[in-house]
Amino acid sequence: MRILYSHRTKSADGQYVHIRALTEALAARGHEIIMAGPDDSGVKTPKRLDAGAGEGGLKALLPKPIYEAAEIAYSIPAYFRLAEKAAGADILYERYNLFYHSGVRLARSRRLPMILEVNAPLADERARHGGLALKPLARWSETSIWRAADAVLPVTGVLAKMIEKAGVPPEKITVIQNGVDAEFLAAVDPRETRARYGLEGKLVLGFTGFVREWHGVDRIVRYIAQSGRKDLHLLLVGDGSAREGLERQAREAGVADQLTVTGVMQRDAMPAHVAAFDIALQPAVVAYASPLKLFEYMAQARAIVAPASENIREVLTSGGDALLFALDDEAALFAALDRLVADASLREKLGKSARESLLRQGFTWAENAARVERIAARLMEERK
Q: What is the pLDDT of residues 240-262, one digit of tens each?
A: 999 999 999 999 999 999 999 99
Provide the pLDDT confidence category of residue 47 given band limits of 50, 70 and 90.
low
pLDDT for residue 163 is more than 90: yes
Q: What percent of the chain has pLDDT over 70?
A: 93
Q: What is the pLDDT of residues 207-227, one digit of tens each?
A: 999 998 989 999 999 999 999
The mean pLDDT of the chain is: 92
Provide the pLDDT confidence category of residue 206 given band limits of 50, 70 and 90.
very high
Count CA within 13 A, CB hemisphere, residue 375. Answer: 27
Residue 54: the pLDDT is: 47
Q: For residues 120 and 138, what is the distance between their CA atoms, to the nearest angstrom?
A: 14
Q: What percent of the chain has pLDDT over 90?
A: 81
Residue 44: the pLDDT is: 53
Residue 174: the pLDDT is: 98
Residue 8: the pLDDT is: 87
pLDDT for residue 60 is more than 80: no
Residue in 173, 175, 139, 133 with CA at minimum distance from that of residue 156: 175
pLDDT for residue 180 is more than 80: yes
Q: What is the pLDDT of residues 167-176, one digit of tens each?
A: 999 999 999 9
Looking at residue 107, its amino acid is A
pLDDT for residue 194 is more than 70: yes
- Classify residue 379 by its DSSP letter: H
Residue 384: the pLDDT is: 76
- Classify residue 116 by its DSSP letter: E
What domains can you pick out in the chain, each with its CATH number? 2-179+364-383 (3.40.50.2000), 182-361 (3.40.50.2000)
Q: Report strand pairing: 259-261 vs 232-239.
A: parallel
Q: Is 171 exposed, middle or buried (0-12, 13-18, 19+ CB in 10 A)?
A: exposed
User: What dihedral angle (degrees, nearest 10) is formed by the CA atoms of 116, 370, 21, 351?
Assistant: 110
pLDDT for residue 92 is more than 90: yes
363 in helix, strand or coil? coil
Q: For residues 24 and 261, what is the distance between their CA atoms, to the nearest angstrom?
A: 30
pLDDT for residue 10 is more than 80: no
Question: Listing from the earlier edge strand, what are the strands of the sheet with 2-6?
Answer: 32-36, 2-6, 91-95, 114-118, 151-154
Strands (E), 183-330: 203-210, 232-239, 259-261, 279-281, 303-307, 323-325
Provide the pLDDT confidence category of residue 161 given band limits of 50, 70 and 90.
very high
pLDDT for residue 332 is more than 90: yes
pLDDT top residue among 124 and 43: 124
Residue in 144, 94, 150, 92 with CA at minimum distance from that of residue 118: 94
| Average pLDDT of the segment spanning 37-57 | 58
Residue 9: the pLDDT is: 83
